[in-house]
Amino acid sequence: MRQAIELNVNGEPHDALVDSRETLLDTLRYKLGHMGPKEGCGNGNCGACTVVLNGAVVNACLVFAVEAAGADVTTVEGVAAEGNLHPVQQAFIEHGALQCGFCTPGFIMSAKALLERNPNPSEPEIRLAISGNLCRCTGYDKIVRAIQAASQALSQTA
Amino acid sequence: MSKKKEDLSVDAFEYAAPQNLQDAVALLAEASGEARPLAGGTDLIAQMKENRRSPSLVVDVKKIPELNVLSYEAGLRIGAAVSCTQIAEFEPVRVHYPALAEACALIGSYQIQNRAALGGNFCNAAPSADAVPPAIAYGAALVIAGPNGQREIPAEDFFVGPGQTVLEKGEVLVEIVLPSPPPHSGAAYLRFIPREEMDIAVAGVGSFVQLSPDARTCGQARIVLAAVAPTPVRAKEAEAFLTGRALDETTLAQAGELASQAASPISDVRGSAAYRIELVKVLTRRTLGMALERARG
């Protein structure tokens, strides 16, 4: 079955004709051209597909596109403001918190969401917040350091 | 734009998102093939992708007002579609039902908790469901709507086997109702997993203790075991043993031994049956200790 849906992605309204079987992730990537969110496991373990759906981080691979009718979605493409990287993105670059980069969009979304609800997280809080994001390259340490640096950068600009 | 192969591995299905309970019940009752309600989808969609479930009709229940209730007045009412995050962050849950808040915060990642619903944790009927033991330990009842009206059952009577519940065709879980915690009572839930996060319980135990009016002995206890039987189970012998006794270390350990007799675990990749039996003993003792501490305030 196909259904026409409207959704806002990174502040822009879109129309899409989606199959009921299609995930939000597939719609974002292959119908709307947002290739930031990735499909790793496809079953909610790896977090490479993490996006913000109506204000909450979710695995876009575990949401049917039809469920997202009328929703507001933010992908990693919508994180930088007016061409300036978000402090989390900047910190990932400065701390070398990525190697292959496949998981990075998901980590950015989880880290940004964490710092929005908890601007000064402890290391255990950071590790808990990224427990739904798998990285097979870095061993996580540089990711944790980058999030700590982003937390400091944000508190200095606030 | 589309470069993707149309390899939709999920079998075709009709999707409906009714705005009210009557329409949801009618859709589920009149479906010709298998019909499944969809709340958070963190179990159902993963199962559909693996072709472990192939419903021909998916009824999204997230727009139904009754399934989005979250209130604390004379007890706690949780609509079946309310997410684990909403429950864990709801102040009355944190204050009056901490074991439930803790269990909701154990399920998967933040991404999962933001979608996964308590009603889904029940209806998926995994023996390892983390939020179920504390709900039963707090004395939960389930409100079910169907073609013949509504019925209410004790939460522990909901499960038939792994993935199987008492829900009849056309029935939908509406809400989970927890009574107000009585004075001098407390509860706790612990699960064992071999890592810190993002895993399925090898075994889990939810315990509830209400002290006698003089606070010297146990007035009532409920102990619920997860992942050690085809369904969540009450350890009723251990509960009866505790009633009327002073709760010291020895008594709690004895309750653990008795609770393990209610377990009938399998051996699988997560742990052997013998290991799970040992876990039940330890987790029962520990959760009773935590519940007792909370009961004493």
Q: What is the mean pLDDT of residues B197-219?
A: 96
Determine the Cα–Cα distance for residues B286 and B297; give it in Å rounded to an integer.
Answer: 17
Please give the structure tokens belonging to residue B69.
């209730």
Whether B147 and B216 share a structural domain: no
Residue-wise pLDDT tens digits, A40-54: 999 999 999 999 999
List CB contacts (< 8 A) between B198 and chain A: 45, 131-132
pLDDT at A22: 97
Task: Tell me, yes or no, whether B237 lies in a domain.
Answer: yes
Collapse the DSSP code of B267 into the 3-class scheme (helix H, G, I; strand E, B; otherwise coil) and give the result.
Answer: coil
Whether A91 and A151 share a structural domain: yes
List, in order, residues 6 or more apart from B216 with CB less than 8 Å away: B246
pTM reported for the whole predicted model? 0.96
Determine the Cα–Cα distance for residues B74 and B147; give it in Å rounded to an integer.
Answer: 28
CA distances from B22 to B38, B68, B120 (A): 16, 15, 19
Looking at every residue in chain A, the average pLDDT score rounds to 97
Whether B79 and B129 share a structural domain: yes
Task: Tell me, yes or no, whether B233 lies in a domain.
Answer: yes
- B38 near A CB under 8 A: yes
Task: Tell me, yes or no, whether B76 lies in a domain.
Answer: yes
Q: What is the mean pLDDT of residues B28-56?
A: 97
Determine the Cα–Cα distance for residues A128 and B198; give it in Å rounded to an integer.
Answer: 10
Residue whose entry in the numeric block shows the structure tokens 């009849």:
B168
Contact call for residues B20 and B65 (beta carbons, < 8 A): yes
pLDDT at B62: 98
CATH code, domain carrying A44:
3.10.20.30
Residue-wise pLDDT tens digits, B11-25: 999 999 999 999 999
Confidence of residue B8 (pLDDT cuts 50, 70, 90): low
Determine the Cα–Cα distance for residues B82 and B60; give it in Å rounded to an integer.
Answer: 13
List CB contacts (< 8 A) between B2 and chain A: 30-31
**Neighbour-count burial of A53, counting CB atoms closer than 10 A to its CB (0-12 exposed, 13-18 middle, 19+ buried):** buried
Domain count, chain B: 2
Please give the structure tokens belonging to residue A109.
């979304």
Looking at every residue in chain B, the average pLDDT score rounds to 96
Confidence of residue B87 (pLDDT cuts 50, 70, 90): very high
Residue B2, pLDDT > 80, answer no
Determine the Cα–Cα distance for residues B46 and B116; give it in Å rounded to an integer.
Answer: 12
pLDDT at B9: 80
Domain count, chain A: 2
Task: Tell me, yes or no, whether B102 lies in a domain.
Answer: yes
Whether B50 and B115 share a structural domain: yes
Determine the Cα–Cα distance for residues A139 and A155; give it in Å rounded to an integer.
Answer: 26
Whether A14 and A64 share a structural domain: yes
pLDDT at B4: 54
Residue B153, pLDDT > 90, answer yes
pLDDT at B7: 54
CATH code, domain carrying A109:
1.10.150.120
Contact call for residues B64 and B21 (beta carbons, < 8 A): yes
Instruction: Pick the last residue of a domain from B119, B146, B181.
Output: B181
Q: What is the mean pLDDT of residues B130-145?
A: 98
Residue-wise pLDDT tens digits, B213-263: 999 999 999 999 999 999 999 999 999 999 999 999 999 999 999 999 999
Q: With a cut of 70, list the residues of chain A below it in pLDDT.
A: 158
List CB contacts (< 8 A) between B108 and chain A: 44, 132
Determine the Cα–Cα distance for residues A46 and B50; give it in Å rounded to an integer.
Answer: 16
For every residue of B117-140, DSSP letters joined together read BHHHHHHTT-TT-SSHHHHHHTT-
Structural domain range at position A148: 87-157
Whether B208 and B175 share a structural domain: no
Give me the helices (H) in B50-163, please.
Answer: 84-89, 91-96, 98-104, 110-113, 118-123, 132-137
Contact call for residues A4 and A15 (beta carbons, < 8 A): yes
Best residue of B42, B64, B110, B198 to probe chain A, by most A CBs closer than 10 Å:
B110
Whether B252 and B177 share a structural domain: no
Instruction: Pick the last residue of a domain from B123, B152, B181.
Output: B181
pLDDT at B3: 52
CATH code, domain carrying B30:
3.30.465.10
Give the one of B17, B41, B111 whose C-beta lies nearest to A47's C-beta: B111
Residue B6, pLDDT > 80, answer no
List CB contacts (< 8 A) between A32 and chain B: 1
Structural domain range at position B290: 185-191+199-296
- B109 near A CB under 8 A: yes
Residue whose entry in the numeric block shows the structure tokens 């509860």:
B187
Collapse the DSSP code of B79 into the 3-class scheme (helix H, G, I; strand E, B; otherwise coil) and give the result.
Answer: strand
CB–CB of B15 and A50 under 8 A? no
Whether A25 and A56 share a structural domain: yes
Counting residues of chain B whose pLDDT is more than 70, the rounded percentage is 97
- Sort strands B218-226 and B233-234 into parallel, antiparallel or unpaired: antiparallel
Instruction: Pick the last residue of a domain from A78, A95, A116.
Output: A78
Give me the helices (H) in chain A, please.
Answer: 24-26, 87-94, 104-117, 123-129, 141-157
**Neighbour-count burial of B6, counting CB atoms closer than 10 A to its CB (0-12 exposed, 13-18 middle, 19+ buried):** exposed
